[in-house]
């Protein structure tokens, strides 16, 4: 026991050093990317927007909103659609995933149809959805919902149907009934798989909303890109792209934090 502690402290030293390096590496890569960007845009023939140009575009949009919305306003417009769609996708997707993962009959009935639906990209729904619901807020949310639903269902179903035999054996030994088997054993054991689904659905939702906005809308980051393209304002396009990347990154961090709170055991492994 003592030996182990001694070893750990040495290990911790190394770990500390390693952590510092790992904190530094992302900064390095961002700086490198900026250099590359400068290099690419310094050639006057390339017409590639320069970092300075994008920065100026950023200052300009602060003063002069597009369609009454500032940059943050457009980001929020996109995010709102994603959040509403995700709320429904997670609730329905997890429930449906549990149903077809746990119940063999349900899987036999719904599985094949679902697999076929999965193959259809969310944007393929645009024409039909537009025909039915026009181009308002609801059709966009609906398309994001379709895109975000699939990963949640697939991962939840996989997690539930792959619950390890030994955990179920424990349930049998202790006389657990079907409900207890599901809620005490199968669902918690599938939580990390469910979270993988939640992660994928968030990034899918964020991508689909931008595409949906590009196809018709008056707000959102996707709309900004189309606006930039139509008016030859490539600084605006690139600025929007950077915003998309940053927001996507922040979303991933939020989901990671959420996972740490809900599944503390996954981060507490000794090795």
Question: Site residues (CB under 8 A) for other proteins?
Answer: 166-167, 169-176, 180, 184-185, 188-189, 191, 263-265, 268-270
Four-CA torsion 165, 162, 156, 102, nearest 10 degrees: -60
How far apart are CB 271 and other proteins at their closest, in Å? 8
Q: Smallest distance from the beta carbon of 169 to other proteins, in angstroms? A: 6
Cβ neighbors of 199 (< 8 A, separation 6 or more) are: 252, 255, 259
Q: How far is the CB of 176 from other proteins (least distance, A)?
A: 5
- The smaller minimum CB distance to other proteins, of residues 185 and 196, is found at 185
Closest CA to 97 of 201, 175, 176: 201
Nearer to other proteins, 84 or 170 (CB): 170
Short-list 227, 182, 263, 177, CA closest to 57: 227
97 vs 171, beta carbon nearer other proteins: 171
Rg from Cα positions in the chain: 24
91 vs 266, beta carbon nearer other proteins: 266
| Residue 69, strand partner residues | 66
Cβ 190 to other proteins, closest distance in Å?
A: 10
23 or 165: whose CB is closer to other proteins? 165
Q: Which is nearer to other proteins, 64 or 175 (CB)?
A: 175
CB 50 within 8 A of CB 42: yes
Token pair for 70: 């500032």
The answer to whether the beta carbons of residues 75 and 221 sit under 8 Å apart is yes
Structural contact between residues 81 and 141, judged by C-beta atoms closer than 8 angstroms: yes
Q: Work out how close the CB of 247 gets to other proteins at its nearest, in angstroms, rounded to a whole number.
A: 31
Closest approach of Cβ 38 to other proteins, in Å?
47
Closer CB to other proteins, 182 or 210, in the complex: 182
How many C-alpha atoms does 53 have within 13 Å on its Cβ side? Answer: 15
**Smallest gap, in angstroms, from Cβ of residue 103 to other proteins?**
21
> DSSP letters of 163-185?
--HHHHHHHHHTT--HHHIIIII
């Amino acid at each position: 026991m003592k030996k182990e502690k001694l070893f750990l402290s040495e290990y911790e030293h190394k770990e500390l050093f390693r952590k510092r390096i790992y904190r530094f590496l992302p900064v390095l890569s961002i700086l490198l990317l900026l250099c590359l960007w400068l290099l690419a845009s310094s050639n006057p023939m390339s017409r590639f927007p320069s970092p300075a140009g994008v920065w100026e575009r950023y200052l300009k949009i602060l003063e002069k909103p597009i369609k009454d919305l500032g940059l943050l306003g457009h980001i929020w417009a996109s995010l709102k659609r994603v959040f509403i769609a995700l709320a429904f996708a997670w609730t329905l997707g997890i429930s449906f995933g549990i149903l077809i993962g746990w119940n063999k009959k349900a899987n036999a009935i719904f599985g094949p149809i679902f697999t076929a639906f999965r193959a259809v990209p969310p944007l393929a729904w645009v024409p039909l959805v537009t025909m039915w619901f026009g181009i308002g807020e609801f059709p966009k949310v609906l398309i994001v919902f379709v895109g975000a639903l699939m990963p949640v269902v697939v991962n939840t179903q996989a997690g539930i149907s792959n619950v390890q035999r030994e955990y179920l054996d424990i349930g049998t030994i202790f006389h657990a009934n079907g409900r207890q088997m599901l809620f005490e054993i199968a669902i918690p054991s599938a939580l990390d798989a469910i979270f993988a689904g939640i992660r994928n659905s968030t990034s899918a939702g964020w991508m689909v909303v931008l595409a949906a906005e590009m196809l018709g809308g008056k707000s959102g980051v996707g709309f900004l890109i189309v606006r930039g393209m139509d008016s030859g304002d490539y600084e605006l396009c690139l600025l929007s792209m950077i915003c998309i990347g940053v927001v996507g990154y922040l979303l991933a961090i939020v989901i990671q934090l959420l996972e740490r709170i809900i599944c503390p055991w996954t981060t507490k492994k000794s090795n």
